[in-house]
Amino acid sequence: MTGTTPAAPFTAGDYRSRMTRAARTAADAGLAGLLVAPGPDMVWLTGYTPTAVTERLTLLVLAPGRDPVLVVPTLEAPDAEKAAGAAVLTLRDWTDGTDPYAMTADLLAEDGRFGISDNAWAMHLLGLQKTLPGTSYASLTDALPMLRAVKDPAELELLAAAGAAADATFEEIRKVPFAGRRESDVGHDLADLLRRFGHEQVDFTIVGSGPNGANPHHEVGDRVLQDGDMVVLDFGGLKDGYGSDTTRTVHVGPPTAEEREVHDIVRAAQEAGFRAVRPGAACQEVDRAARAVITDAGYGEFFIHRTGHGIGVTTHEPPYMIEGEEQPLVPGMCFSVEPGIYLPGRFGVRIEDIVTVTGDGGRRFNNTTREMVIVS
């Protein structure tokens, strides 16, 4: 987590309605409140990111029917006050040498069950449990998976702009030399371009060449790119606080007929996944639509991951496009559609766009060509 809080176009009123909705959703889920640590949920709810996340407790406490309270170390209170959401919450600061858990406990029901951020430090959860032994805790993300899933119009604009910046990055990277350079060199180029086009944070720059492309988790290595390589390029990060994530698979020099065929299958699968996006369809239908194309072509066993994940103030979040996820799609949800085929020891192909659900279908935030691009 970096300390840059980008100038988001959100007002105190926006943050108030998010906090109110979160508290209400928590109550509906049977929770006495939400304990929100610095990170994506806190940024989304308050606009506040501490300059540095340290061992000192910073915690947003949301409980239905009560004003939101942000517990902060005294020395960070002046920073917290500057956050747009600070106008609609109460700051409670604690000084070194006092017990922040006792202060927080005053705000909590003694026997309540609370949703707590997935990224809260264990030491803070243990401190609260020790102070209030009757309380219990649940993963905030598990309890409220759709809390941040439906984006408002301003968020959609920011995600569209992040997608356009990632597209601009692809248009530049396809012009750089590949053959003779290492994957890590191209990865550096990708990071530089993402920053040049406005990203303040680069989350990943995957350059999977030849056999490395068959491992979806490969990031970059020392392998020198050569003529004949398929190269999976998957890159993204945060621009003005909102995420980008796109993949294109390029080829160094002319491809073989088999490489073309596999790329065509993935492209058709990605198109089928995109066409399955419409309000009311279950998340798993997007996965099924993309997977059916790959399975029917005989490559089903080589599509080894889910079809997509949500995106917002992070680059990976609910909803997930995966078999078994029956959550219906709602206009304003944003997620990736990214099928792939991975042939062990040989090469991989993946094509990924961020898509948002509209009133009657889907709209892509990534619009560079999905044809196989030949690089040199």
User: Can residue 332 be called a binding residue for Zn ion (CB under 5 A)?
Assistant: no
59-62 and 33-36 beta bridge pairing: antiparallel
- Cα–Cα distance measured from residue 122 to residue 86, given in angstroms and rounded to the nearest whole number: 26
**Terminal alpha carbon distance of the chain:** 36
Minimal distance in Å, beta carbon 121 to Zn ion? 27
Contact 335, 308 (CB under 8 A): yes
Residue 182 per-residue DSSP state: B
Instruction: Return the number of the residue (5 or 246) whose C-beta is nearest Zn ion.
Output: 246
Q: How many CB atoms lie within 10 A of CB 187?
A: 20
Return the range that interacts with Zn ion (CB under 5 A); candidates 53-61, 108-116, 324-332, 348-356.
348-356
Minimal distance in Å, beta carbon 127 to Zn ion? 35
**Total residues binding Zn ion (CB under 5 A):** 7
Minimal distance in Å, beta carbon 281 to Zn ion? 20
Instruction: Return the number of the residue (14 or 245) whose C-beta is nearest Zn ion.
Output: 245
Minimal distance in Å, beta carbon 219 to Zn ion? 11
Residues of span 266-305 touching Zn ion by CB under 5 A: none
Minimal distance in Å, beta carbon 203 to Zn ion? 9
Minimal distance in Å, beta carbon 373 to Zn ion? 13
Minimal distance in Å, beta carbon 252 to Zn ion? 7
Strand partners, 374: 251
Return the range that interacts with Zn ion (CB under 5 A); candidates 123-131, 278-286, 349-357, 367-375.
349-357
- Cα–Cα distance measured from residue 77 to residue 140, given in angstroms and rounded to the nearest whole number: 25
Minimal distance in Å, beta carbon 285 to Zn ion? 19
CA 337, 350, 321 angle in degrees (round to 5)? 25
Rounded to the nearest 5 percent, the helix, strand and coil shares of the chain are 35, 25, 40
Q: Which residue has the tokens 């517990």?
A: 71
113-116 and 33-36 beta bridge pairing: parallel
Task: Using DSSP, state whether 28 is helix, strand or coil.
Answer: helix
- Cα–Cα distance measured from residue 63 to residue 86, given in angstroms and rounded to the nearest whole number: 16
Instruction: Return the number of the residue (61 or 166) whose C-beta is nearest Zn ion.
Output: 166
Minimal distance in Å, beta carbon 205 to Zn ion? 10
Instruction: Return the number of the residue (85 or 210) whose C-beta is nearest Zn ion.
Output: 210
Minimal distance in Å, beta carbon 290 to Zn ion? 13
Alpha helix (H) ranges present in 230-358? Answer: 257-275, 283-296
User: Can residue 336 be called a binding residue for Zn ion (CB under 5 A)?
Assistant: yes
206-245 mask for Zn ion (x: CB under 5 A)? ----------------------x-----x----------x
Instruction: Return the number of the residue (14 or 234) whose C-beta is nearest Zn ion.
Output: 234
Instruction: Return the number of the residue (117 or 336) whose C-beta is nearest Zn ion.
Output: 336
Q: Which residue has the tokens 């809390």?
A: 147
Helix (H) or strand (E) holding 235: strand 230-239
247-266 mask for Zn ion (x: CB under 5 A)? x-----------x-------
Instruction: Return the number of the residue (93 or 234) whose C-beta is nearest Zn ion.
Output: 234
Instruction: Return the number of the residue (226 or 327) whose C-beta is nearest Zn ion.
Output: 226
Nearest to 307 by CA among 54, 293, 224: 293
Amino acid (one-letter) located at 46: T
- Cα–Cα distance measured from residue 37 to residue 44, given in angstroms and rounded to the nearest whole number: 11
User: Can residue 135 be called a binding residue for Zn ion (CB under 5 A)?
Assistant: no
Helix (H) or strand (E) holding 50: none
Instruction: Return the number of the residue (127 or 236) whose C-beta is nearest Zn ion.
Output: 236
Contact 344, 296 (CB under 8 A): no
Instruction: Return the number of the residue (84 or 334) whose C-beta is nearest Zn ion.
Output: 334
Give the footprint of Zn ion on this chain (CB under 5 A).
228, 234, 245, 247, 259, 336, 352
